[in-house]
Amino acid sequence: MNDTCEPPVQENPIGPIHITFREIVTEYQRSVYGLAFELTGNHHDAEDLSQEVFIKVYRSLDKFRGDSKLYSWIYRITVNTFLNKKQKKTLLFRKLTSDFSDVDPGSMSEPALETPLLLKKHLASAMQKLSKSERVAFVLRHKQDLSVKDVAKTMEVAEGTVKSLLHRALKKLRKDLHFYKEELGLQTIQSR
């Protein structure tokens, strides 16, 4: 891969900005990996997703129109790649587990909070139970600190849809992590 013979990338209205693929990777690899890790929940999948994103960026660099900032474009590729991979994994998982439909994973009792690491593990597990759209909306809004408007733009949905996804995600997370309320001093305030 020769990174010196790449097309210019237009990122502003003043004129084209010449940037090599290597410079793009150097500039955005930490951000892409961070988002990928938040979406996938583990290091291995985050690395795979990041690598796939940069392959797509390389192949599509000549199609970047400059309508948005380069990072916004790469961000969108990351989210789309995650959603597509998640959908494929879900279909494969359903096919592989169809013979185990009588097993009830909810029958196991939840362990008490022992360490912050355990809390992180439970949170990651609860995040994996969210639908792909709920998880993307939650990560973009609460972990990447994007506004609802920016989340809607990134996900290519209406702001009301984002608000609904966030509401459902929070409701599910509260339900899945309810056993931490007492231990963390988060008692529900009773209405009068």
Structural domains present in the chain: 1-98 (1.10.1740.10), 111-192 (1.10.10.10)
The pLDDT assigned to 167 comes to 93
The β-bridge partners of 17 are 9
Structural element, H or E, at residue 11: strand 9-12
In sequence order, what DSSP letters do the residues of 82-149 get, joined into one string? HHHHHHHHHHHHHHHHGGGTT--GGGSPPPPP--HHHHHHHHHHHHHHS-HHHHHHHIIIIIS---HH
Greatest CA separation found in the chain?
69
Q: Is the pLDDT of residue 166 over 80?
A: yes
Q: What is the pLDDT of residue 86?
A: 60
pLDDT above 90 as % of the chain: 21
Q: Residue 27 — very low, low, confident or very high, per pLDDT cuts 50/70/90?
A: very high
Pick from 11-20, 22-31, 32-41: least confident: 11-20
Q: How confident is the model at residue 120 (pLDDT cuts 50, 70, 90)?
A: confident
Residue 173 reports pLDDT greater than 60: yes
| pLDDT exceeds cutoff 90 at 175 | no
Q: What is the mean pLDDT of the chain?
A: 74
